[in-house]
Amino acid sequence: MAKSPSFNDAVVQAMRILYPEELADKSWDNTGLLLDQAPSFPQRVGSSRPTVLLTNDLTETVVDEALEKGATVIVCYHPVIFRPLKSLTTKDPMQAQLLRLIAAGITVYCPHTAVDAAVGGLNDWLCDILIDGDEEIKRAVAEPISRPLPASLQGQNVGYGRVFELNQSITLQTLLRRLSAGIGGQKYMMVALPPTLNDLTKTQIITKIAVCAGSGADVLKNTDAQVLVTGEMAHHYALRHTQLGQIVVTCFHSNSERKFLEQRLKPQLEAQLKDAGYGDVLVIASSADRDPFDIIDVRDLA
């Protein structure tokens, strides 16, 4: 009888099934199992059930939470190691957290652009929260993957960003409310309007929308959608789109990604682990993870 995989190995295998690493853009991205400690460390004490923590970014407070919850695995959307390390030092904030995780025996898996590109992944989720039950007539990949893919992934609608069209038009106001609700009730967004639509209070009729979670400038640069929804966009890219008559909506980089972990990845991972024989597990979306930016009204300052 084949030996059952360890819990850490089961989590990694589940993530690779859900979001194959071949979908990640390895030309610049660093994804996969970035901190592997399964062979060296036993199950950590701190939780009576095997526990995995989902987070968008790895920060000191997220590591504190992982230790408190007794997690043995962290699935961190953004890579915890992005560029080659020449040393490990506590003077660097990210490296300090990696050293804490090494000492605690916690494994870290980072899927990043594999989640962006996959069918049913982050960008499809972003479409879904904006559609909110409306009938769509078409959904396409904004930037298809051009490199060769394994046979199992060929023919799938994979790639970065999405563009969708609705059967019935909606207003920009409705779109903004849906985005706010879908990403967790965010009250403030940045909207760049073209010169011909310089009044946000006037109804703008929308049928074609492009989305890219995170930073969408490059992925969405060639779309003809009426509205571009992304986490962040550089000044000159946004200016170009407004001069083309398009509307750009940004909600801060990680705010366009974070709720996906709780709403879609959590149940997906729970189901995969159950199939692997790990039904009684805790998959927790981090409550400590947050975007680094806040909106401050200077009129409220003391």
pLDDT values of the chain reduced to their tens digit, one per residue, 302 residues: 456 778 999 999 999 999 999 999 999 999 999 999 854 444 555 567 899 999 999 999 999 999 999 999 999 999 999 988 888 999 999 999 999 999 999 999 999 999 999 999 999 999 999 998 878 889 999 999 999 999 999 888 899 999 999 999 999 999 999 999 999 999 999 999 999 887 777 777 899 999 999 999 999 999 999 999 999 999 999 999 999 999 999 999 999 999 999 999 999 999 999 999 998 999 999 999 999 999 999 999 98
pTM for this prediction: 0.93
Question: What is the Cα–Cα distance from 132 to 138, expressed in whole angstroms?
Answer: 15
Q: Does the annotation flag 236 for ligand binding? A: no
Write down the residue that tokens 């779309």 correspond to: 223
Q: Does the annotation flag 257 for ligand binding? A: yes
**What are the φ and ψ backbone dihedral angles of 40, each rounded to 5 degrees?**
-100, -20
Q: Does the annotation flag 253 for ligand binding? A: yes
Question: What is the Cα–Cα distance from 33 to 257, expressed in whole angstroms?
Answer: 20
- List, in order, residues 6 or more apart from 248 with CB less than 8 Å away: 191, 192, 227, 228, 230, 233, 238, 241, 242
Q: Does the annotation flag 57 for ligand binding? A: no
**What are the φ and ψ backbone dihedral angles of 147, each rounded to 5 degrees?**
-75, 160
What the chain holds in terms of domains, given with CATH numbers, is 7-112+258-285 (3.40.1390.30), 119-252 (3.40.1390.30)
Give the DSSP H/E element, type plus range, for residue 43. Answer: none
Q: Which of 126, 159, 139, 145 is nearest to 225 (CA)?
A: 139
